Chains A and B, each alone.
Chain A
């Protein structure tokens, strides 16, 4: 049953947010808060699901059984994370079918980074290290989000995600300790993934469409630029350890700010890829549509089987 609006409901909602308490599914909430959350959580879920594709591509070609087992476990986790998040979004009254439909029709977005191709095995390392690393920075901050079911899903996700980053870094470490050809492969993957990873945090704070309201409602707890800076700062030492060079000639320590300065992000490329101009936009959506269509008879069969079992149970009881 949808929460009923009563006098003072909005004041109670504001007071709950101000007191750092969580909003729960049956609470009254402003319609815009609900819509904002549905958009953010479903996009987050779609990103987990589509995020399986660039890496899933490499499961059959993983170089060792150990690498194959870990990559398979990681990709399975991404599917699980998608399910936790869809489950959280459904508590807001949106159906799984609606969200799925929005993804397949292109109405809903997913993280644009997954529209880049994974060309070599080193990309699997770079994705785990950088893309999952960036996702962790973002998600740790979101664990303090004001909506209870979203916060709880994120706590579970963060617990699982740290292995993703480590397995990626380990792949990079192995490549960097290998032949010069292998190290060049690692550098090439870093060169291609670094800037798209920085774009994952979204537009600069001043240009971010939903940020301000989301911060007020404590859906988001730290701004895009704050989180991006945190990620850059932690990545420098990691790249140094690998003996790789971050592809940014403007990157340098700024003692006055106590942070690394870094170069300008190509926002035109961000917009182009976001709006369908990336290398893999079409194939990603096609893979999801195919999965939906190919699975239809399975879902139908499951329901038919369940009906039959129920009918049989009634017969047996009679």
Chain B
């Protein structure tokens, strides 16, 4: 076993033009170039993508699921952010 470890990269793929990149998994590689080639071989063997992003896993900051309720709560009582909140005539194409 190697004393030093190959760092972990997260892989995001755009499946076709017009769509967002979407997280598909992770892999280990020494540098971005190798990570890119490994991502192609691992995650696009059947033309699943037209573009790949790779990001060092340690560079990703994520919200804590434990705080999720408090963190996302402020949006809960703001129903006026949705069009259905407003009472307007149905036939005027508003």
**Interface set, chain A 27-55, CB cutoff 8 A to B:** 27-28
Q: When the two chains form their complex, are residues B1 and A97 in contact, meaning their CB atoms are under 8 A apart?
A: yes
Complex interface residues of chain B between 1 and 48 (CB less than 8 A to chain A): 1-2, 4-6, 8, 24-31, 34, 41-42, 45-46
A156 to B23, CA, bound (A): 13
The CA-CA distance from A299 to B66 in the complex, in Å, is: 37
Q: Is the CB of A90 within 8 A of B8?
A: yes
Classify chain A's interface size.
35 or more
Residue of A nearest to B10 (CB): A87
Known contacts A100-B1, A153-B25, A292-B1; A302 and B31 CB within 8 A of each other: yes
Residues of A with C-beta under 8 A to B29: 302
Task: Report if B65 contacts A (CB, 8 A).
Answer: yes
Q: Using a Cβ cutoff of 8 Å, how many contacts connect chains A and B?
A: 69
Check B2 against A296 for contact (C-beta < 8 Å).
yes
Contact partners of B8 in chain A: CB under 8 A: 90
Q: Which residues of B contact A3 (CB under 8 A)?
A: 64-66
Complex formed: what's the CA distance from A76 to B46 in Å?
Answer: 12
| A87-B27, A90-B26, A309-B31 given; A80·B6 CB < 8 A | no
State A160–B46 Cα separation when bound (angstroms): 9
- Whether the Cβ atoms of B27 and A302 lie closer than 8 Å is no
Chain B interface residue count, CB cutoff 8 Å, equals 23
Q: Is A306 an interface residue (CB 8 A)?
A: yes
Which chain B residues lie closer than 8 Å to A95 at the CB level? 5
With a cutoff of 8 Å between Cβ atoms, the chain A residues found around residue B34 in the complex are 302, 306
Q: Please, which residues of chain B bring their CB within 8 A of the CB of A180?
A: none
In the complex, which residues of chain A have a beta carbon less than 8 angstroms from the beta carbon of B66? 3-4, 6, 9, 26, 28
Interface string of B51-69 (1 = CB under 8 A from A): 0000000000010111000
A94 to chain B, nearest CB (A): 12
Contact A84-B25, Cβ < 8 Å, known A300-B2, A302-B6: yes
Residues 65-90 of A, flagged 1 when their CB comes within 8 A of B and 0 if not, give 00000000100110010011001101
A27 touches B65 (CB 8 A): yes
Does A245 lie at the interface of the complex (its beta carbon under 8 Å from any beta carbon of B)? no
Taking the closest CB of chain A, its distance from the CB of B36, in whole angstroms, is 13
Chain A residue numbers with a CB within 8 Å of B24 are 156
* Contact residues in A for B30 (Cβ distance below 8 Å): 299, 302-303, 305-306
Known: A306-B30, A306-B31. A76 touches B25 (CB 8 A): no
Inside 8 A of B26's CB, which chain A residues have their CB? Answer: 87, 90
The residues of B with any CB-CB pair to A shorter than 8 Å are 1-2, 4-6, 8, 24-31, 34, 41-42, 45-46, 62, 64-66
- 5 residue pairs, one from A and one from B, having the closest CB atoms: A302-B30, A306-B31, A306-B30, A26-B65, A87-B25
In the complex, 17 of the A-B residue pairs with CB atoms within 8 angstroms, ordered by the A residue number, are A3-B65, A4-B66, A77-B45, A83-B27, A87-B27, A90-B8, A96-B28, A97-B5, A152-B25, A153-B25, A160-B46, A299-B6, A300-B4, A303-B4, A303-B6, A305-B31, A306-B31
